Amino acid sequence: MSTTNTPSITPASTLADLAVRLAGATRVFHAHGLDFCCNGRISIADISAKKGLDPAALIAELEAATADASDFERWDDAPIPALIEHILEDFHAAHRAEVPRLLDMAEKVERVHGDKASCPRGLAAHLTLMLESLDEHMRKEEQVLFPMILAGRGRMASMPISCMEDEHKDHGLNLEKLRALATDYVPPAEACTTWRALYLGLEQLERDVMEHISLENNVLHPRALRD
């Protein structure tokens, strides 16, 4: 991994490239609701036009975020075995631990506050679907794709990689629904401590899943097909 060689930021820079190479970039993208993982191969200029943003202001935010960021680890030039180990330990294992914890909290909130109009009804059911979908997806990576890449057969993995990236789009749609069910992770005034903690955890889950997908779509997969 690397912590140097900060890339320059221009209107032609893509979200995907900046997300994996620029400290603080994903925080800025999250703040503006920009998809840098599944649809990150779009330039600053194009996404600004699409979202009605000022590209110069967005670049200034990114530059400021880079100056303020610390302990940023770049994985775009890390050895592939180290990158896969990072994905397994910091994302696969983390998702398997965190989603059930959030599901328990969501079930409690719906059970206790189900009579309130602001209750996020259906949130627990959606988290159950997400857990099942993520687990099935990660097992495919662990049992098929990652062993192929580690065995030096990445160039022959175009079909499983295409399948995984299609499933990543489904995960992206699941995140959109999650955010809608949780009202952009803004708890109502009457929310209890568990409810507020749930929304904080869901927002972090969204960040983690997006960074997970970004590493695979924008770093691991292109390198596996090329190296």
Residue 76 has pLDDT above 90, yes or no: no
Instruction: Report the candidate in 126, 129, 141 with the shortest Cα–Cα distance to residue 91.
Output: 141
Task: Return the pLDDT at 68.
Answer: 65
Q: What is the pLDDT of residues 81-131, one digit of tens each?
A: 999 999 999 999 999 999 999 999 999 999 999 999 999 999 999 999 999
Compute the residue count for the chain: 227
d(CA 181, CA 17): 30
The strand pairing partners of 14, in sequence order, are 43
The least confident of 66-80, 111-125, 132-146, 153-167 is 66-80
Tell me the per-residue pLDDT of 38-59, one tens digit each, with 9 for 90 and over. 888 999 999 999 999 999 999 9
Average pLDDT across the chain, whole number: 92
Give the residue with greater pLDDT, 73 vs 193: 193
- Report yes or no: 57 and 9 within 8 Å, Cβ to Cβ: no
